[in-house]
Amino acid sequence: MWQSFVDLTHQLIPWFDGGLADILIIVIKGLALIFPLIIMMAYMTYAERKVIGFMQLRIGPNRVGPFGLLQPFADVFKMLFKEVIFPSKSNIYLFLLAPILAFVPAVAVWAVVPLGEDFYIANIDVSLLYVMAIGSVGVYGIVLAGWASNSKYPLLGALRSTALLISYELVIGFVLVTVVMIASSVNLNTVVESQSGGILNWYWIPLFPMMIVFWIGALVETNRAPFDVVEGESEIVGGTHVEYSGMPFALFFMAEYFNMIFMALLAVLMFFGGWHSPFEGIPFLEGLFEFVPDLIWLLFKMSFFLFLYFWIRASFPRFRYDQIMRLCWKVFLPFTIVWIFVVALMTQLGIGPWF
Amino acid sequence: MEFTSILFYVFSLFFVGSSFVMIVSRNTAKAALWLILTFFSAASLWLLLEAEFLAITLILIYVGAVMVLFMFVIKMLDTDQSTLRAQFTRYLPLGIFVSLIVIVQMTLVLNAGPFDLDTVGLPEQHGASYSNITAIAQQLYTVYVYPFELAAILLLIAIIAAITLVHRTQVKSKKQNISEQINVQAKDRMRFASIKKNSTKESK
| Model pLDDT for residues B20-54, shown as the tens digit of each residue | 998 888 778 788 889 999 999 999 998 888 888 88
pLDDT, position B16: 94
Of the residues B26, B56, B57, the best mutation for testing chain A's interface (the one with the most A CB atoms within 10 Å of its CB) is B56
Alpha helix locations (H) across chain B?
A: 3-24, 28-48, 52-58, 67-76, 81-86, 92-111, 117-120, 132-138, 145-166, 178-182, 186-189, 199-203
Structural domain ending residue among the three candidates A81, A106, A135: A81
Structural domain ending residue among the three candidates A81, A101, A121: A81
Chain A residues with CB under 8 Å of B56 CB are: 126, 129-130, 133
pTM of the model: 0.84
Residue B106 resides in a domain: no
pLDDT, position A348: 80
Assess: ipTM above 0.85: no
Of the residues A137, A161, A185, A240, the best mutation for testing chain B's interface (the one with the most B CB atoms within 10 Å of its CB) is A137
pLDDT, position B104: 93
pLDDT, position A351: 73
Question: Cβ of A125 and B131 within 8 Å?
Answer: yes
Residue A225 resides in a domain: yes
Question: Residues B74, B137: one domain?
Answer: no
Question: Residues A135, A31: one domain?
Answer: no
- Average pLDDT of chain A, as a whole number: 84
How many helical (H) and strand (E) elements, i.e. helices and strands, does chain A have?
A: 15, 0
* Nearest to A251, CA basis, from A131, A103, A132: A103
Amino acid identity of residue A70, one-letter, is L
Q: Out of B4, B53, B64, whose CB is closest to A137? A: B64
CA triplet B57, A218, A188: central angle to 5 degrees? 50
* Nearest to A182, CA basis, from A313, A332, A347: A347
Structural domain ending residue among the three candidates A20, A50, A81: A81
Question: Residues B67, B135: one domain?
Answer: no
Local structure of residue A240 (DSSP, 8 states): G
User: Nearest CA to CA, how far is B26 from chain A (Å)?
Assistant: 13
Reading chain B (204 residues) residue by residue, the pLDDT tens digits are 677 888 889 999 999 999 999 888 877 878 888 999 999 999 999 888 888 888 888 988 888 888 888 888 877 776 656 666 666 678 888 989 999 999 999 888 877 767 777 777 777 777 766 778 888 888 888 899 999 999 999 999 999 999 888 877 766 667 777 788 888 888 888 888 888 776 555 554
Residue B112 resides in a domain: no
Question: Residues A186, A274: one domain?
Answer: yes
Q: Out of A97, A125, A163, whose CB is closest to B52? A: A125
Rounded Cα–Cα distance for residues B91 and A252 (Å): 43
* A230-272 confidence digits (pLDDT tens): 776 777 777 788 888 888 888 888 888 999 999 999 999 888 8
Chain A residues with CB under 8 Å of B60 CB are: 129, 132-133, 136
Residue B91 resides in a domain: no
Residue B33 resides in a domain: yes
A81, pLDDT greater than 80: yes
Question: Residues A110, A58: one domain?
Answer: no
Residue B96 resides in a domain: no
Residues 6+ apart with CB under 8 A from B181: none
Total domain count, chain A:
2
Q: What is the CA radius of gyration of chain A?
A: 22
Residue B14 resides in a domain: yes
Total domain count, chain B:
2
Range of A191-205, A304-318, B105-119 with top mean pLDDT: A304-318
Rounded Cα–Cα distance for residues A192 and A272 (Å): 9
Residue B145 resides in a domain: yes
Residue B202 resides in a domain: no
Question: Residues A40, A99: one domain?
Answer: no
Structural domain ending residue among the three candidates B45, B79, B113: B79
Mean pLDDT of A278-293: 74
Report the chain A residue with the minimal C-alpha distance to residue B61.
A133
Question: Residues A46, A164: one domain?
Answer: no
* Nearest to A218, CA basis, from A283, A135, A301, A294: A135
* Nearest to A252, CA basis, from A240, A237, A234, A263: A240
How many A-B residue pairs are in contact by the CB < 8 A criterion? 91
Question: Residues A267, A237: one domain?
Answer: yes
Question: Residues A148, A56: one domain?
Answer: no
Residue A354 resides in a domain: no
Question: Residues A26, A135: one domain?
Answer: no
**CATH number assigned to the domain comprising residue B50:** 1.20.120.1200
Mean pLDDT of A298-321: 88
pLDDT, position B13: 94
User: Nearest CA to CA, how far is B27 from chain A (Å)?
Assistant: 10
pLDDT, position B202: 54
A164, pLDDT greater than 70: yes
SS3 content of chain A, % helix, strand, coil (to 5): 70, 0, 30
Report the chain A residue with the minimal C-alpha distance to residue B6.
A16
Question: Domain range spanning residue A233?
Answer: 82-349
Question: Residues A237, A138: one domain?
Answer: yes
Amino acid identity of residue A289, one-letter, is F
Rounded Cα–Cα distance for residues B95 and B106 (Å): 17
Residue A319: C-alpha distances to residues A220, A300, A306, A327 (Å): 11, 30, 20, 10
Question: Residues A189, A46: one domain?
Answer: no
Rounded Cα–Cα distance for residues B55 and B40 (Å): 9
Question: Residues A307, A165: one domain?
Answer: yes
Report the chain B residue with the minimal C-alpha distance to residue A97.
B33
Rounded Cα–Cα distance for residues B35 and B23 (Å): 9
Question: Cβ of A162 and B71 within 8 Å?
Answer: yes
A282, pLDDT greater than 80: no
Residue A170 resides in a domain: yes
Residue A355 resides in a domain: no
Question: Cβ of B71 and A140 within 8 Å?
Answer: yes
CA triplet A64, A67, A71: central angle to 5 degrees? 35
Question: Residues B75, B144: one domain?
Answer: no
* A107-126 confidence digits (pLDDT tens): 889 888 888 777 788 888 88
**pLDDT tier, A8 (very low <50, low <70, confident <90, very high otherwise):** confident
Question: Residues B69, B2: one domain?
Answer: yes
Question: Domain range spanning residue B146?
Answer: 131-165
Of the residues B30, B53, B71, the best mutation for testing chain A's interface (the one with the most A CB atoms within 10 Å of its CB) is B71
Let me know: does A220 contact A227? Beta carbons within 8 Å. yes
* Nearest to A298, CA basis, from A262, A280, A272: A272
